[in-house]
A = this chain, B = another copy of it.
């Protein structure tokens, strides 16, 4: 079997909801064996996330209340792509808005789908270094509390299972591995 034979063919598509941030689509597809099934698909504009190294051995994280789960999570800074915006431009903008820092260096690490079973949301993850402090300016409906987290604290939170955000788990594991190989 090759990848091609796993593909599904769209038979019918119906837009259920067009919203402020996301759309919901019902798609009937033909499976590789010919039978039909329904896929429920959430369309999302995509986002960036920034692993912001604010000191040689610290990164910036934010506490943010998340309505869908009714809880505050510890996360790396992130935000949705605006129409026509490149991921790089979005990363610089979101970093400025959420942390106040400007990055002289921005390296693209990974791009990944958060929930490919039901959504097309793609996150571009960047590593921002050589940061210059500035002024935060959050969106009107955005309330976050951020600070620098030293590597020891991040490692402890990771190992205690206290990081519950997917993009943050990806970023901090990458960063810890980088740092442990460099052996600061």
Question: Contact at A8–B67, with CB atoms within 8 Å?
Answer: yes
Closest residue of chain B to A117, judged by CB? Answer: B66
Closest residue of chain B to A31, judged by CB? Answer: B141
Q: For window 10-62 of chain A, which residues contact chain B by CB distance below 8 Å?
A: 16-17, 19-22, 24, 26-27, 29, 31-33, 35, 37-44, 47
Chain B min CB distance to A124 (Å) = 11
Q: Interface residues of A toward B: which range?
A: 35 or more
- Please tell me if A135 contacts chain B, counting CB pairs below 8 Å: no
Chain B min CB distance to A148 (Å) = 16
Question: Contact at A166–B123, with CB atoms within 8 Å?
Answer: yes
- Please tell me if A86 contacts chain B, counting CB pairs below 8 Å: no
Question: Contact at B7–A120, with CB atoms within 8 Å?
Answer: no
- Chain B residues with CB under 8 A of A38: 20
- Chain B residues with CB under 8 A of A170: 166, 169-170, 173
- Chain B residues with CB under 8 A of A115: 44, 114-115, 119, 121, 166
Q: For window 117-133 of chain A, which residues contact chain B by CB distance below 8 Å?
A: 117-123
Question: Contact at B166–A72, with CB atoms within 8 Å?
Answer: no
